[in-house]
Amino acid sequence: MTAKSELVELNLPPVLFKTLQDTVFPGATDEAIRMAVAYCQARNLDILSRVVYLVPMYTKVRSANGSVTSVFRDVVMPGIALHRINATRTGTYLGLSDTEYGPPISTAFPEHKANFINAKGDWEEKVYPARTLVHPEWVKVVAKRSVNGVVAEFPAKLFWAEIYAKLSKSERPNDTWMSRPYGQADKCAEAAALRKGFPECCADVTAEEADGKAIEGEFSHVQAGEDELKPKASAADILRNRTKSDVKKEAAPVNQPEGSKTPDAGTPESNDPEEIFNDFMVRLNVAASREEATKIINSSIKSIPSSYQGKAKEEFKRKLSNFA
């Protein structure tokens, strides 16, 4: 099925699809956006209300030969707003209690250094200075629901140290949790309470809870955006802000000093044909210009197995059509 026919099947006008590409899900692949549209249509949701997010994740997939590889893709996840909507739609939701916070705790986080890939594709070191953060020991929210005419309460008490989102490969909170240690914990507790009180419609983990965490052993790494009112970080943003420890194929060789020139982006670490092709697709899908896409195909085509080269060239042409 072609991309155009998929838009027709989803009853999605091209102008609306363009709006989703440019404003709601910038940087996401066309396939991921169509997936988000289908998700919202199935649940009778207005996708322009931004109640779902496309969160870039490394997800484990099993190939036909039984091998398991990690593929970088956008995954549709609900925001806390969707849990609120679903709970309200039941007609039995009686609201939340005031949020309770445990005693404030001061935690000292040491200086943290990480190398990132900047917008130009070069390594750039970022230094997070040492900081002492004041945060609650725990947070508690109670969801209330009418059950057979009786007010039932569903409390959720979460400990901050167990839920905060961390910078990759460190114990330091990410920027969002560092700036909003109480607000982010509040949203996680609310989501947990709604999940307990309304399991039939609020069972999913929210994007706010997934921020910076692995989910049930299926995802090796998750990064999300700043808050529930903004679209989550685009795939381009995530790829350009990965730390060295997160980018296996781009890590410096053992006998290459830190900070020296990185290996050619087209040189794969894996010998698995499918993994090599998937890695190429990750970089191609987030290319921001024709020039960037052309550079990626030129640096990668020799390393892509012959059985996948035809498909790679087709995907390259599809990508170029987005810039027409």
204-215 per-position pLDDT tens digit: 888 777 765 544
115-149 pLDDT, tens digit per residue, is: 765 656 567 788 889 999 999 999 999 999 999 99
Query: Is residue 244 situated within a structural domain?
Result: no
Angle between helices 80-89 and 181-197 (to 10 degrees): 30
Last residue of a domain, one of 47, 78, 109: 78
The alpha carbon of residue 152 and the mean position of all alpha carbons in its chain are separated, in whole angstroms, by: 34
Query: Is residue 104 situated within a structural domain?
Result: yes
Query: Is residue 259 situated within a structural domain?
Result: no
Query: Is residue 10 situated within a structural domain?
Result: yes
**Among the listed ranges 20-24, 84-88, 95-99, 251-255, which one has the minimum average pLDDT value?**
251-255
Pairing relationship of beta strands 219-222 and 52-62 according to DSSP bridges: antiparallel
How far is residue 182's CA from residue 244's CA, in Å, rounded to a whole number? 30
Q: What is the mean predicted confidence (pLDDT) over 274-297?
A: 76
Q: What is the mean predicted confidence (pLDDT) over 160-169?
A: 86
To the nearest 10°, report the CA torsion of 23, 27, 31, 33.
-20
CB 255 within 8 A of CB 47: no
Query: Is residue 260 situated within a structural domain?
Result: no
Last residue of a domain, one of 52, 78, 104: 78
Same domain, 127 and 181: yes
Same domain, 29 and 110: no
SS (HEC) of 172-221: CECHHHHHCHHHHHHHHHHHHHHHHHCCCCCCCCCHHHHCCCCCCCCEEE
> What is residue 241's predicted lDDT score, i.e. its pLDDT?
46
Query: Where is mean pLDDT largest: 54-58, 106-110, 319-323?
Result: 106-110
Residue 158 vs residue 49, higher pLDDT: 158
Same domain, 74 and 112: no
315 is in which domain, residue-wise? 273-322
Same domain, 40 and 120: no
Query: Is residue 63 situated within a structural domain?
Result: yes
- The strand ranges marked E within 194-320 are 219-222
Same domain, 65 and 123: no
- pLDDT at residue 267 is higher than 70: no
Query: Is residue 245 situated within a structural domain?
Result: no
CB 74 within 8 A of CB 235: yes
Same domain, 139 and 202: yes
CB 277 within 8 A of CB 312: yes
How far is the first Cα of the chain from the last one, in angstroms, to the nearest whole number?
A: 21
Query: Is residue 221 situated within a structural domain?
Result: no
Closest CA to 178 of 211, 132, 210, 246: 132
